[in-house]
Structure 1
Amino acid sequence: MARSAAKTPDEYLKSLPADRRAVIAAVRAVVNKHMPAGYQEAMNWGAIMWEVPLMQFPKTPNGQPLCYVSLAAHKNYCTLYLMGAYSNSAEYAALRAAFAKAGKKFDMGKSCLHFTTPEDLELDAIGTVIARYSPDQWIAVMEKSRRRR
């Protein structure tokens, strides 16, 4: 799928073909269930994002809200970006181990899991990763990583 021009997550879901709409809606529900308070769900970069609002953290490198999780449908697969797993090697290893224990393929690119159905994912482990950082904790992680550069 090309980048969406939808203005809201609900509008984005309505724009998807029925099969991908069901997949994205199911994974979105899991993300929302585990998302710590304080993140805002929005459309940005053509995908559903859970972000730290600019009012809370305006010092982003690109002037956009600080992304924590992102979810999108593409032509042949869907993606779930888990910045918390990508930025923390222990979280990444735990997520990878949970997939292996469940007998599921860990298809992770640069910070995103590729999947075609919710059953491809180890949803409990993903929920744990999502619940890991409050917005303030995520800001601290990002500021610390910037100081290292």
Structure 2
Amino acid sequence: MKIEANSPEKYISKVPEERIAAMSKLRSVIRENLPVGYEETMSYGMIGYVVPHSIYPDGYHCDPELPLPFMNLASQKNYIALYHSGVYANKELSEWFIGQYKTQIGRKPDMGKSCIRFKKPEEIPFVIIGELVSKMNVQQWIDLYEKAIKK
């Protein structure tokens, strides 16, 4: 599902009506818990949270003109998606998230490598998402990213 939007507000206004409340709440939870230094932007056609060039001038190794991506929020065809690079890159963080999710929801999350899929907006564990977002500051993400790409 491709949504043409030039701001997070415009993006959310264009998602299916039954997802607007959940997407708005997810965005609020992310913004309230996002460590200092990350910036909200539009990135890859989604709401993005990035390390700006003012903090990490090298940018993204695949395209240095882009800031270093960290997290994205999107409305896909059949679900709401949270793409969290820290969950992909840090095994301990991934295990923590899966454990917390299982405890609260009663089953494993529907996940890909960095993608957490929410097919039922009423089951989004907003408190856990807030904690997840807060667990990796900008410098920790930069260090983990550089360790992975500068082998």
Contact 1:105 1:120 in 2 (8 A): no
Moved more, 103-112 or 122-131: 122-131
In 2, Cα distance between the equivalents of 1:127 and 1:81? 14
Partner of 2:68: 66
Q: C-alpha offsets along residues 35-58 of structure 1, whole Å, 9 cap, x if unaligned?
A: 011111011101001100122212
Larger deviation: 132-141 or 80-89? Answer: 132-141
Tell me, which stretches of 5 or more residues in structure 1 are unaligned?
none
Aligned length: 147
Q: Which runs of 4+ in 1 moved over 3 A?
A: none
Query: How do 1:21-32 residues align onto structure 2 when only pairs under 5 Å count?
Result: 21-32=20-31
For 1:51, the aligned partner's letter is: V
Residue 21 of structure 1 deviates from its aligned partner by: 1.6
Q: 2:84 aligns with which of 75, 82, 85?
A: 82
**What SS class does the counterpart of residue 69 from structure 1 fall into?**
strand
Q: CA offset at residue 69 of structure 1?
A: 1.4
Q: How far 1:81 moved relative to its partner?
A: 0.9
Report the alpha carbon displacement of residue 13 of structure 1 after superposing the two structures with TM: 1.2
The match for 1:95 is 97
User: How many Å separate the matches in 2 of 1:35 and 1:119?
Assistant: 22
Question: Residue 110 of structure 2: SS of its match in structure 1?
Answer: coil
- Tell me the CA shift for residue 9 of structure 1: 0.3
Tell me the residue number matched to 1:7. Answer: 6
Aligned identity (percent) is 33
CA contact (8 A) 2:35 2:137 kept: yes
Provide the alpha-carbon RMSD of the alignment: 1.5
Letter in 2 for 1:25: S
Report the Cα distance in structure 1 between the residues aligned to 2:115 and 2:147, rounded to whole angstroms. Answer: 22
User: What TM-score does the superposition give when structure 1 sets the normalisation length?
Assistant: 0.90
Which of 137, 140, 149 is the matching residue for 1:134? 137
Question: Which amino acid counterpart does residue 121 of structure 1 have in structure 2?
Answer: I
Which residue does the alignment assign to 1:112? 115
